[in-house]
């Protein structure tokens, strides 16, 4: 998933669930494990529901196990039955526990005879936390309704009853029926030439963790970008997206050269409406992506490099619990940098690494000590909060450090071996370290010792001597920014004509949190940032302008906030407005208009900002 840079939610304390190794799931994989899921679902747009059944194939581990325990959230369950080898069904008793705010409802199915398969007939809630239902008006083309899932971290349970833990991997098949003109895609092999007939079947033959279950449906056109890749998007978006992402096949080939074959068959991309709360989601075979990276100059396509890299780090080797999520995101961000370097040059890759590193340096000291660790104590964190920039930026910084110490050739060789060794498994940080010791640290003695490695993994802050890439272009921007702030250089004399997205991001990131209003107005009259179509620049610009007290930008900021539901591009504007009573009132007015188009996760996050602001007011 891509949610960065520099976005962390508040830290919530979680109750420990029954399965202590993964406190975010009620599943008991030591008793019984789901090995295959078969879904039969009907898309009901008017009621915003998925209606159907899930059949789970089971591998009973404990001969005395009395029951199968599953994760659910807000599911209405009609019936549960055991399926015999002869196809005969027997009803099963079950208890659906009261809903826990974080974890949902524990579903305990009495199954003392250990059936090979269990079938659950159910319907999802219109407010399912893992699904968003959009009216035609909320889409780009305004013709048909749209729906999509976002299962990571623990939202698969809101649309499928299952063992919702990254430690458990299963294969899946599905049949989905839809209105005839709606195309359905899933995180499985998709057929670009599938007729619009309202009937879709899917097969994911590789075992995946539940958070990679995904579905999308709407007015979706398809455009091939290579022999094994295509873009899926609304008709008005698909051409632009296919152009922006035309290097996808080159990215796949580059990653294969570095780390071995792409093992999933096709790699397609679904570009979602702008309400998608994240940058991208690495759903197997079908990356889900935000349209906010379609800026016309490929400057933000590292998002595709990131999601593609997950086909190795994350989808092939998965973190066994949310506490270990840096194994997914840190390794992926490192691999993303290598793909970017190979395709777009070292200076582009270095700029992106430096942006992440500087943002982390600024933020990490403000976080609770436990959250500063790559492998924190899991009891102190919420599953969605594990995806902080520590996992991404500190994780990738650690890998860049390893590369520098051991040399690129040796480290590439090691990482390729690591991907092969743990392919299609879910592992813990400790398993990774046990593998690293003989295969890297001891193999090349004198380069980096285990104590240094453990300081990166279990220590707080950023280790001393962590290497930073050089960027002469960023250095020049630093000099110009200082001269501008000191009054020695006027805004129109900034050498910004040729700045790419990252260079603007860097300039804006490093302005003071509250920049004098006059300086903000000078930048805007020279460079016309208000109204920019580039949402990365817009997010930073409006945040600064609001903080400086420039009310002239409010309407343009409101337009940005209403158009874009991606958390990281929208929340900072709400946060900036909420610091004054007048701004808070304005933000609440904007939200009233924007809310119907926001994903449940975005709604939750904005409402949390308002609640906090009102608490401070009182
Ligand atoms: Zn990611």
Q: What is the CATH number of the domain that holds 492?
A: 1.25.40.320
Is 256 catalytic? The answer is no
Average pLDDT taken over every residue of the chain: 95
Range of the domain at 508: 472-617
Which of 285, 311, 337 marks a domain boundary? 311
478 in the same domain as 449: no
585 in the same domain as 498: yes
Which 8-state DSSP code applies to residue 273? P
Q: How many domains does the chain have?
A: 4
Beta-sheet pairing, 169-177 with 32-44: parallel
Catalytic residue among 94, 122, 392, 574: 392
Q: What is the pLDDT of residues 255-309, one digit of tens each?
A: 999 999 999 999 999 999 999 999 999 999 999 999 999 999 999 999 999 999 9
Look at residue 385 in the predicted model and tell me its pLDDT.
64
CA 219 to ligand 1 center in whole angstroms: 26
530 in the same domain as 511: yes
CA 373 to ligand 1 center in whole angstroms: 18
Q: Which of 5, 9, 1, 2 is nearest to 575 (CA)?
A: 9
CA 597 to ligand 1 center in whole angstroms: 24
Query: 5-14, 253-262, 340-349, 502-511: lowest mean pLDDT where?
Result: 5-14
Look at residue 377 in the predicted model and tell me its pLDDT.
84
- pLDDT over 90 percentage in the chain: 93
CA 552 to ligand 1 center in whole angstroms: 36
Which residue carries 């594990």 as its tokens? 386
Residue 387 has pLDDT above 70, yes or no: no
357 in the same domain as 286: no
412 in the same domain as 322: yes
347 in the same domain as 253: no
Q: 3-state secondary structure string, 79-126? A: EEEEECCCCCEEECCEEECCCECCCEEEEEEECCCCCCEEEEEEECCC
Q: In what order do the strands lie in the sheet with 67-72?
A: 67-72, 105-110, 94-96
Look at residue 275 in the predicted model and tell me its pLDDT.
94
Token duo for residue 305: 């490099």
CA 397 to ligand 1 center in whole angstroms: 15
Which of 261, 282, 311 marks a domain boundary? 311
Neighbours of 15 (CB within 10 A): 10
- Read off the CATH number of the domain in which 288 is found: 3.30.2010.30
Q: What is the pLDDT of residues 221-256, one digit of tens each?
A: 999 999 999 999 999 999 999 999 999 999 999 999
What is the C-alpha to C-alpha distance for residues 283 and 211, in angstroms, rounded to an integer? Answer: 8
What is the C-alpha to C-alpha distance for residues 204 and 202, in angstroms, rounded to an integer? Answer: 7
Look at residue 1 in the predicted model and tell me its pLDDT.
81
Token duo for residue 405: 């110490």
Q: What is the pLDDT of residues 132-175, one digit of tens each?
A: 999 999 999 999 999 999 999 999 999 999 999 999 999 999 99
What average pLDDT does this structure show over 17-23? 60
Query: 17-26, 88-97, 118-127, 128-137: lowest mean pLDDT where?
Result: 17-26
500 in the same domain as 393: no
In the chain, the largest separation of any two C-alpha atoms, in whole Å, equals 84
CA 282 to ligand 1 center in whole angstroms: 7
Look at residue 617 in the predicted model and tell me its pLDDT.
79
196 in the same domain as 79: yes
Using CB atoms within 10 Å of the CB of residue 562, give its burial: 0 to 12 exposed, 13 to 18 middle, 19+ buried: middle
51 in the same domain as 199: yes
Per-residue pLDDT band for 388 (boundaries 50, 70, 90) equals: confident
Dihedrals φ, ψ of 313, to 5°? -95, 100
What average pLDDT does this structure show over 200-225? 98
Q: Which residues pair with 122 in a beta bridge?
A: 52, 77
374 in the same domain as 288: no
What average pLDDT does this structure show over 34-46? 98
CA 455 to ligand 1 center in whole angstroms: 23
What is the C-alpha to C-alpha distance for residues 351 and 267, in angstroms, rounded to an integer? Answer: 27
Is 430 catalytic? The answer is no
Contact between 218 and 234 (Cβ < 8 Å)? yes
CA 83 to ligand 1 center in whole angstroms: 38
Catalytic residue among 307, 351, 363, 403: 307
Rg (CA), the chain: 24
What is the C-alpha to C-alpha distance for residues 438 and 185, in angstroms, rounded to an integer? Answer: 43
CA 325 to ligand 1 center in whole angstroms: 9
- Read off the CATH number of the domain in which 403 is found: 1.10.390.10
587 in the same domain as 451: no
7 in a domain, yes or no?
Answer: no
What average pLDDT does this structure show over 200-209? 98
Q: What is the pLDDT of residues 48-69, one digit of tens each?
A: 999 999 999 999 999 999 999 9
Ion ligand 1 nearby residues (CB, 5 A): 1, 329, 332
């Amino acid at each position: 998933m891509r949610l960065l840079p520099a976005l962390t939610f508040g830290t919530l304390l979680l109750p420990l669930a029954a399965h202590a190794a993964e406190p975010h799931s009620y599943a008991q994989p030591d008793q019984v494990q789901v090995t295959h899921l078969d879904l039969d679902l009907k898309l009901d747009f008017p009621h915003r529901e998925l209606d159907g059944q899930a059949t789970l194939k089971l591998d009973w581990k404990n001969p005395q196990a009395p029951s199968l325990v599953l994760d659910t959230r807000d599911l209405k369950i009609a019936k549960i039955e055991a399926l015999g080898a002869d196809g005969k069904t027997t009803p099963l008793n079950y208890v659906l526990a009261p809903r826990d705010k974080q974890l949902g409802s524990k579903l305990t199915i009495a199954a003392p005879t250990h059936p090979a398969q269990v079938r659950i007939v159910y319907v999802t809630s219109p407010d399912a936390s893992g699904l968003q239902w959009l009216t035609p008006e909320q889409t780009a083309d305004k013709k048909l309704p749209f729906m999509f899932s976002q299962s990571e971290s623990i939202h698969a349970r809101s649309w499928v009853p299952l063992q919702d833990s990254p430690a458990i991997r299963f294969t899946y098949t599905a049949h989905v029926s839809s209105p005839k003109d709606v195309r359905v895609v899933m995180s499985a092999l998709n057929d670009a030439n599938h007729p619009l007939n309202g009937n879709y079947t899917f097969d994911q033959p590789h075992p995946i963790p539940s958070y990679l279950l995904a579905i999308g449906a709407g007015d979706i056109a398809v455009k091939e970008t290579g022999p094994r890749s295509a873009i899926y998007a609304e008709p008005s978006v698909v051409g632009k997206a296919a152009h922006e992402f035309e290097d996808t096949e080159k990215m796949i080939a580059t990653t294969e050269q570095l780390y071995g074959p792409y093992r999933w068959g096709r790699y397609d991309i679904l570009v979602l409406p702008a309400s998608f709360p994240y940058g991208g989601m690495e759903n197997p075979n079908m990356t889900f992506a935000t349209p906010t990276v379609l800026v016309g100059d490929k400057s933000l396509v590292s998002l595709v490099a990131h999601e593609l890299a997950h086909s190795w780090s994350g989808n092939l080797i998965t973190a066994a619990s949310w506490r270990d999520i840096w194994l997914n995101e840190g390794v992926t961000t490192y691999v993303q940098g290598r793909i970017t370097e190979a395709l777009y040059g070292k200076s582009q890759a270095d700029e992106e690494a430096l942006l992440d590193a500087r943002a982390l340096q600024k933020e990490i000291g403000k976080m609770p000590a436990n959250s500063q660790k790559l492998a924190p104590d899991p009891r102190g964190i919420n599953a969605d909060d594990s995806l902080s920039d520590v996992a991404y930026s500190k994780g990738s910084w650690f890998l860049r450090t390893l590369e520098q110490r051991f040399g690129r050739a040796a480290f590439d060789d090691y990482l390729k071996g690591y991907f092969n060794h743990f392919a299609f498994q879910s592992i813990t940080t400790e398993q990774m370290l046990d593998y690293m010791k003989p295969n890297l640290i001891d193999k090349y003695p004198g380069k980096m010792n285990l104590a240094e490695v453990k300081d990166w993994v279990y220590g707080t802050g950023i280790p001393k001597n962590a290497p930073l890439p050089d960027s002469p272009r960023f250095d020049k921007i630093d000099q110009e920014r200082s001269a501008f702030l000191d009054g020695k250089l006027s805004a129109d004399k900034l050498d910004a004509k040729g700045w790419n997205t990252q260079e603007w991001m860097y300039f804006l990131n490093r302005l003071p949190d509250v920049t004098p209003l006059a300086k903000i107005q000078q930048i805007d009259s020279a460079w016309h940032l208000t109204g920019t179509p580039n949402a990365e620049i817009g997010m930073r610009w409006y945040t600064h302008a609001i903080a400086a007290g420039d009310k002239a930008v409010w309407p343009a900021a409101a337009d940005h906030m209403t158009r874009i539901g991606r958390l990281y591009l929208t929340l900072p504007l709400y946060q900036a407005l909420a610091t004054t009573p007048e701004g808070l009132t304005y933000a609440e007015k904007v939200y009233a208009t924007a809310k119907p188009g926001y994903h449940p996760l975005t709604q939750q996050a904005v409402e949390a900002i308002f609640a906090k602001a009102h608490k401070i007011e009182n």
